């Protein structure tokens, strides 16, 4: 089967819109490193109790946690699992995907992206290269190639073509908008698609959002888009696993919703989460529920405020804490 992943991280697009082809240790938040614009990883060297208070010595050289035996189902969102089972039960869906995503389509996408982007390596944009290698190591996955493409639209997407090394493309405007830790969270989101083997269904669903193809059965088309929204929630968890700070992953969504480089220092993650709770409250009435469902049916990605809430809730879950307890610190 053709295995081509085309995933867009950034925006919940509608079918009528244009679409750019296409996250137990102790840690505290450290002061911002001016070189990277984000917090350093800091760990507790020792912890002891004195006069009823917990005191800890800080080890500023602590490294990110690595999930050596991580499996995709360890962080897959329940809605992703549910909708994947529903898609697998549809007879002939993979055959339709193979027919649409043939060799010619793959080659067009491959050459179009390689020919208009810069390949990142240890000698070309080495800081981005290091971020990708580190994120892949944390998620226990082989690192794909990484390309940077000039574009005013902040976006990132992934291509995985049969028999070829997968690659991720990020836009220059995304690099300008985000801190280094936030940018690595985006890379981790894209790695989540590869880790979870979202494959041909992801590209198929994205073609539907582009309006490039229409299925004769509207119900099947709606099911694919519903699965795509669920898959994005899974990959947001991959972003958190790499960032290891929910505020970093949520800040990405906040900036993509209404951020700009000149006012980034005025953005407040806690206020954005409060906005998410306000949305939940406003949409809890019968009319609000109807409007909310009508709104999200046309979207390829969940609403940013809902994605932020999902990340925040999962970061507090026993499931996430259990993964952290299994992890080991990355050796540098």
Q: Which residues contact 65 (CB under 8 A, 6 or more apart)?
A: 25, 138, 244, 324, 327, 328, 329, 330
Q: What is the model's pLDDT at position 55?
A: 38
Tell me if residue 190 is catalytic: yes
pLDDT in tens, 191-213: 999 999 887 667 666 666 555 45
pLDDT in tens, 260-300: 999 988 999 999 999 999 988 888 888 888 888 777 776 77
Where do the structural domains in the chain lie, given as residue ranges?
A: 65-293+303-329
Q: What is the model's pLDDT at position 208?
A: 60
pLDDT at residue 317 greater than cutoff 80:
yes
Residue tagged active-site, from 106, 134, 182, 190: 190
Which has the higher per-residue pLDDT, 283 or 324?
324
Q: What is the model's pLDDT at position 318?
A: 96
Please, which pLDDT band fits residue 140 given cuts at 50, 70 and 90? very high
The model carries a pTM of 0.78
Interatomic CA distance for residues 300 and 225, integer angstroms: 6
Q: Which residues contact 53 (CB under 8 A, 6 or more apart)?
A: none
Please answer whether residues 198 and 232 qualify as being in contact, where contact means their C-beta atoms are separated by less than 8 angstroms. no
Q: What is the model's pLDDT at position 108?
A: 79
Interatomic CA distance for residues 157 and 308, integer angstroms: 20
The string over 220-233, giving b where at least 16 C-beta atoms fall within 10 Å of a residue's C-beta and e elsewhere, is bbebbbbbbbbbbb
Which has the higher per-residue pLDDT, 123 or 288?
123
């Amino acid at each position: 089967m053709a295995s081509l992943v085309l995933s867009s991280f950034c925006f919940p697009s509608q079918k009528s819109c244009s679409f750019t082809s296409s996250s137990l240790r102790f840690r505290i938040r450290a002061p911002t490193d001016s070189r990277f614009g984000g917090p350093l990883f800091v760990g507790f060297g020792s912890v002891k109790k004195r006069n009823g208070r917990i005191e800890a010595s800080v080890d500023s050289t602590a490294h990110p946690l690595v999930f050596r035996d991580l499996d995709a189902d360890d962080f897959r969102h329940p809605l992703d699992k549910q909708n994947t089972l529903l898609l697998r039960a549809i007879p002939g869906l993979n055959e339709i995907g193979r027919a649409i995503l043939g060799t010619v389509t793959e080659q067009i996408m491959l050459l179009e992206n390689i020919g208009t982007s810069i390949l990142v390596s240890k000698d070309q944009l080495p800081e981005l290269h290091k971020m990708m290698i580190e994120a892949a190591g944390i998620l226990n996955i082989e690192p794909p190639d990484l390309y940077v493409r000039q574009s005013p639209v902040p976006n990132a997407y992934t291509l995985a073509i049969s028999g070829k090394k997968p690659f991720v493309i990020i836009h220059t405007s995304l690099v300008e908008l985000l801190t280094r830790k936030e940018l690595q969270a985006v890379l981790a989101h894209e790695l989540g698609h590869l880790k979870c083997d979202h494959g041909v269904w992801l590209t198929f669903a994205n073609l539907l959002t582009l309006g490039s193809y229409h299925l004769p059965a509207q119900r099947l088309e709606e099911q694919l888009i519903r699965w795509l929204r669920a898959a994005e929630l899974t990959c947001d968890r991959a972003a958190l696993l790499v960032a290891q700070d929910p505020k970093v992953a949520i800040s990405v969504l906040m900036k993509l919703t209404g951020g700009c480089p000149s006012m980034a220092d005025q953005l407040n993650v806690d206020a954005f989460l409060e906005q998410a709770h306000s949305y939940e409250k406003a949409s809890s009435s019968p009319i609000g529920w109807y409007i909310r469902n009508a709104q999200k049916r046309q979207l390829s990605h969940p609403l940013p405020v809902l994605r932020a809430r999902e990340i925040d809730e999962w970061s507090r879950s026993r499931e996430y804490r259990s993964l952290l307890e299994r992890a080991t610190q990355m050796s540098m």
